Amino acid sequence: MKKLASIIVDHKGLFLVLFTVLSILGLIGILFVPVNYNLADYIPDAAPSTRGLRVMEEEYQEPIPNLRVYVPNLSLQEAMEMKEKIGEIPHVIKVLWLDDFYDLKTPLELAPEDLVQAYYKDGGALFMVVSGLQDTVVTLKDMQELIGEEGAIEGQVVDLAKARMSVDSEIMVIMLIMVPMGLVLLSLATSSWIEPLLLLVTIVIGILLNMGTNVIFSSISFITQAVTAVLQLAVSMDYAVFLLHRFSAYREEGYGLEEAMKKAVVKSSSAIVASASTTILGFLALVFMRFKIGPDLGLVLAKGVVFSLISVLFVLPSLVLYSSKLIDKTTHRPLLPEFKRVGRFVVKIRYLVLLLLLVVVPLFLAQSKNDFIYGAAAYDEGSREERDQLLIQEKFGNEVTMAVMVPKGEWGKEKILEENLQEIPGVLGILSYNKKVGAMMPPELIDEELIKSLLSQNYSRMVLTLQGPKEGPEPFRLAEDIREEVRKLYGDKGHVVGESVVNLDMRDTIQKDNPIVNGLAVLSVGLVLLLNFKSLVVPLLLLLTIETSIWMNLSVPYFTGTTLSFIGYLVISTLQLGATVDYGILYTQHYLDHRKVRGRKEAIYQSFIETIGGLLPPALILTTAGFILSFISSLAIVSELGTVLGRGALTSFLMVIFFLPGLLYVTDPLVEKLTWKANFYPDNKTDKKTDKK
């Protein structure tokens, strides 16, 4: 590190030019990163719904209906004209309405009432639309203009368009709010008005390098695109603060600028690398998720921390050295108080806070009993998307579409399957070749345009209309029942596809991923802590502190009776561990150093006084970043991730400053025995002095 520090300082101009050029290239690269807005693409390849979708794409030119469009105040003739106009919108493949199931030349009074009510009710028409997903934003806007404010649209195209518009418009807003907030919070951790700007520039360079190099991936998810920049800023800022604090300390000792920076790089590098390693490993645990959002998010965030680490070690020294005169001119008095009273309070409650150990098991059980949402979750309250969804559901009920594909030509078996499916509660209707044409009519005698959506070269497709939402206990039961009926007659040769099926596979995949990902995160972070502290017990204490804060955070939805996005639940379990265990590392390192010259009480007090100034700003930045995501993002899944992140960062911080000191105090004899070269100071020599204070 001494050689590296000399290279960094001696060639500071070269590194500054190099990273400036790389940042510009990164900014250009961001423009060419494809973003995927469809969560269904992240289901494992081996999942039944993925295999079914692959078969349907190969066999059929058009997917199943993915939009419901409601237009009020239409006569039958006007509804037919509206159907044609909807079909002319770009990327709309097909429009289904009442006339596809009933000859409108026959009096409507003779048609089955439930069929009519499903498509035409109170003078309003409900169209089932098959739309491509090439440009959902354009499709949605064109359709909204056509049907007007009184019309309503719901379905997959709306979900994808909403995700795209929100990500495109909100990332910049989030960063515009986060940057000045970050500057304000960083001013608490620095002694110069210019230093927060240097810290921010350093991490922004790391963000540009990370986001620009995402071009190496075929695409990244909209979730990753929405949260990466703000999370990278929040979780890696403390590395820059560590280095800057060391530099300031060496300058106060009388070292020259370059010598102080070289020493600061050498001295702080071990703590920075250890902190970065735990965060990187926490993120990399997500790579082992079979649900591909995990690898997508984990790789990008881990890469981001690496770039932040590189930027801190190679860019920040150059910026600080070139700005040293400006730093000196803008020096200010410390903005944070000394927290001596709080430190004495921490010492006094060292036993009391350990009562929290009594609720560790209940917290763990509570967070595992949450009610989860597995899809993209709900729309914003008061938005047009929510209004449209509620309007359609109020008039026509909550319905979803599903497709069943079975080998072509086995008409007897297919008829049995249709009858069995029709008997399942929740199946409202079935559209198939058998029902539309009749099994006795050879397909060769029928106009191909009429049946191409139902028959392919190898498969016969049934389109099912189901009652209920896209996910939840009942929709999942219904999807499982349909799969079982298909499996009984066709084994693995039959396929079931649809949003409910995708959400079901998402649930099953994520539930299996959960223990694996969390276990790997804990083991990998524990290994880094073991190597860093050379102790068998310290890693357990730190993991207990942070894991308890995670369980506390994730048990809130259970106790408040609210649902929680399972993606947020799974990601935050590893993200909060990797991002906030740094707080515990910093405090514990100071405690172990002080125990070499002080007793237990004095050690926890002095460690608190020395670390609170370094812990508070990063914790506030991560907390603020989370709540900004929560308040700004109109994507429910991103907003909820922000909520649990902000709450989790605050919880971890409070646990480290109030719970961990007491835990270290009580287990001090065990820590001494199981830590290599602990060399603790005899405890009873300083306790009375601390009590008098």
Q: What is the pLDDT of residues 234-271, one digit of tens each?
A: 888 888 888 888 888 898 888 899 999 999 999 888 87
Return the SS3 of 122.
Answer: coil
Final residue of a domain: which of 157, 176, 204? 157
226 and 329 housed in the same domain: yes
329 and 347 housed in the same domain: no
Return the SS3 of 331.
Answer: strand
The rounded distance, in Å, linking the Cα atoms of 370 and 578 is: 23
Write the pLDDT tens digit of every residue in 150-167. 999 998 888 888 888 877
Write the pLDDT tens digit of every residue in 64-84. 888 899 999 999 999 999 999
358 and 389 housed in the same domain: no
The pLDDT, as a whole number, for residue 685 is 53
Band the pLDDT of 378: cuts 50, 70, 90.
Answer: low
256 and 290 housed in the same domain: yes
311 and 227 housed in the same domain: yes
The pLDDT, as a whole number, for residue 411 is 84
Closest CA to 556 of 648, 655, 634, 623: 648
Band the pLDDT of 332: cuts 50, 70, 90.
Answer: confident
In a domain, 512, yes or no: no
Least-confidence region, from 148-157, 310-319, 429-438: 429-438
The pLDDT, as a whole number, for residue 376 is 60
CATH number at residue 389: 3.30.70.1380
In a domain, 277, yes or no: yes
Residue 149 confidence (pLDDT) above 50 = yes
The rounded distance, in Å, linking the Cα atoms of 145 and 619 is: 46
In a domain, 618, yes or no: yes
Write the pLDDT tens digit of every residue in 589-640. 889 999 999 899 999 999 999 888 888 888 888 899 889 888 888 777 788 8
544 and 451 housed in the same domain: no
Band the pLDDT of 693: cuts 50, 70, 90.
Answer: very low
Final residue of a domain: which of 102, 135, 157? 157
Residue 445 confidence (pLDDT) above 60 = no
Average pLDDT over residues 275-292: 86
CATH number at residue 556: 1.20.1640.10
In a domain, 519, yes or no: no
Residue 288: which domain range?
A: 1-32+188-335
557 and 654 housed in the same domain: yes
Closest CA to 301 of 21, 574, 633, 518: 574
542 and 689 housed in the same domain: yes
Average pLDDT over residues 384-411: 87
How many Cα atoms occupy the beta-carbon half-sphere of 232 within 13 Å? 33
The model carries a pTM of 0.82
The rounded distance, in Å, linking the Cα atoms of 17 and 279 is: 29
pLDDT over 70 percentage in the chain: 96
- Name the most confidently modeled range: 146-150, 291-295, 378-382, 628-632: 146-150
Phi, psi of 68 (to 5 degrees): -115, 125
Closest CA to 360 of 518, 515, 516, 550: 550
Report the domain count for the chain: 4
Cβ proximity of 221 and 33 under 8 Å: no
Residue 184 confidence (pLDDT) above 60 = yes
Q: Are strands 35-36 and 220-221 parallel, antiparallel or unpaired?
A: parallel
Residue bearing the bigger pLDDT, 66 or 29: 29
pLDDT over 90 percentage in the chain: 37
The pLDDT, as a whole number, for residue 231 is 84
In a domain, 356, yes or no: yes
Final residue of a domain: which of 135, 157, 179? 157
422 and 539 housed in the same domain: no
301 and 344 housed in the same domain: no
546 and 656 housed in the same domain: yes
The pLDDT, as a whole number, for residue 335 is 80
In a domain, 434, yes or no: yes
Write the pLDDT tens digit of every residue in 32-52. 999 988 877 888 888 888 899
Least-confidence region, from 402-406, 453-457, 571-575: 571-575
445 and 553 housed in the same domain: no
Average pLDDT over residues 396-412: 87
Write the pLDDT tens digit of every residue in 70-126. 999 999 999 999 999 999 998 898 898 888 778 888 888 888 887 788 889 889 999
The pLDDT mean for the chain works out to: 87
Q: Give the start-end residues of each E strand in 58-151.
A: 67-71, 92-96, 120-121, 124-131
Average pLDDT over residues 363-377: 80
